[in-house]
Amino acid sequence: MTPETLLSILKLTPGWAEQAEAVELDDTATLQVLSEARKLAENTLAPLATRADAEGCKVENGRVKAPSGYRETFRQMGVDGWIASDLDPEFGGMGLPLALYTAASVALEGAAQPFMMMVGSATAASHCIAATNPELAAEWCPKLTAGEWSATICISEPDAGSDVGRIRTKAVQEGTSWRILGTKCWISFGDHDASDRIGHLCLARTGTPEEGTRGLSLFLVPNHIDGQDNGIFVERIEEKLGLHGSPTCVLRFEDAKAQMLGDPGRGLPALFNMIELMRLQVGTQGAGVATACATLARAYAEDRKQGGHPAKPPVPIISHPDVERQLLIMDARAKLAVALALENAVVLGQAHAGDAEAARLATFLLPLAKTFGGEMGQQNADAAIQVLGGAGYTREWPAERYFRDARIFTIYEGTTGMQAQDILFRRLLKDEGTLDLLRARLGGARSNALIDRVTEMVETLRSLSLRAQMLAADGMLRACWYATSAGLAERLRGHLDGDAGLDVWLSTGEAHMATVEATIHWAAQA
């Protein structure tokens, strides 16, 4: 996706103009940022990703060795301002709008998503530390934004994944500091040699097990203090389907010194400052992969010659209707994934500025971005392999790597099932005004009709049992997405190159909603 197209989608997003004006950003400056991001993606990150996938990560003498080039690239990205550029300048950022940071990240994520997980964690951690402990932020945030230090999010344990209330890692107070004891798993970049220091944002139990999530607090746990190891050990790194360039670690904390972030027993609310941005990052990862795969498939289809009249030279496969159909759908997914990520970023920016209605809408849009940005990234990776045919299945082309890497999108940072329950129980059934806010923001005839149908489905669900509601949760999540995507598609039509893919998307909306309604009917009878 070109920088010009990204800029067009930004300008079509309600609220962007005000956010750009507030920091004196005009179209020329915005386009320059997006153009520089594309150059970085093409010239540095894409080659890095290819090497990293082949090289992988390994443990040597108890430490994780990251792929070659990671340390230098991470540091340079910090020097050049690509890490947490939306953070307040007081803490080392540039104060840019979150939406611009997100738009620039589309190309970066599409080029090297496994590496960018380290950048995303450092960015999200910077915001979390700044929001919960200004004293620690003064020390840590400038180092994180400079690419000298990095950070992780430590939630999952062997017996506590999505069920966070079962976390057993303990925090024991020792004077003004704390000691952490326990094991954490699935920790992306939990250890590596690509930065001088790693700060683990770790959920640990300060209350009793019976208190569930209310007994959890958030801590910053450095991997070393004054040059001395801080009791954090790498038990192993996972062998994975994809993300070979991202070390996924099991970490053991043995009396590791820590400092609390936020208030005791309020670990989850404090950590949500980080979770929120990391879920947006997943949506942006999906948008990046969706756009990269759409671009790859179209370029291949224009170049690859096959078929046509046997007495004439073969024709580019893009001229075959079935290939054209696939490319149109890929193009629509890419545009909608980007529009969804930028919609979320603008709304989150408004929420952070104190807009109460935007804050309500953000909690509705974020599960959609995380889930369907991720799904569209997966779907386009799969479609790219199909368009490339046998070539797409080989490592000569990056489509198979995108396919392997993208499979994680709907798993980490909250599975699709968790997002569905959040949408249904915390938004639709609890906050009756959410759909009205969505209707007002999208303002399209077709999307409004679909939102009305979602409203009717919600009323149907109110009378069903809890079990039936949970069976229907995934369907409701998808209904919300179909309504939202229709509004986004209507907004984009006529403003970007080519509307055919968006027309295909809009024409199938009714069929998708009918499937959802059938699912709800089944749940009611189950």
Looking up tokens 């080039």, which residue turns up?
69
> How many Cα atoms sit within 13 Å of 318 on the Cβ side?
14
343 vs 366: CA distance, rounded Å: 10
Tokens of 144: 């994180």
> How many Cα atoms sit within 13 Å of 211 on the Cβ side?
15
Position 150, amino acid:
S
CB atoms within 10 A of CB 459: 10
Asked whether the beta carbons of 128 and 271 are under 8 A apart, the reply is yes
What string of DSSP letters covers 227-257? TEE-SEEEEEE---SS-TTS-EEEEEEEEEE
Where are the strands (E) in 409-459, listed by range? none
| Buried b / exposed e along 285-305 (16+ C-beta atoms within 10 A) | bbbbbbbbbbbbbbebbeebe
Residues 6+ apart with CB under 8 A from 33: 96, 100, 104
Tokens of 166: 């079962």
Position 231, amino acid:
G
Asked whether the beta carbons of 433 and 400 are under 8 A apart, the reply is no
386 vs 257: CA distance, rounded Å: 51
CA separation, residue 289 to residues 114, 297, 363, 366 (Å): 11, 12, 24, 18
Burial status of residue 520 (CB atoms within 10 A of its CB: 0-12, 13-18, 19 or more): buried
Q: Is 375 a catalytic residue?
A: no
129 vs 133: CA distance, rounded Å: 6
Asked whether the beta carbons of 254 and 71 are under 8 A apart, the reply is no
Q: Which of 109, 157, 343, 413 is catalytic?
A: 413
Residues 6+ apart with CB under 8 A from 280: 102, 341, 344, 345, 348, 366, 369, 370
Asked whether the beta carbons of 261 and 270 are under 8 A apart, the reply is yes
* Residues classed as catalytic: 413
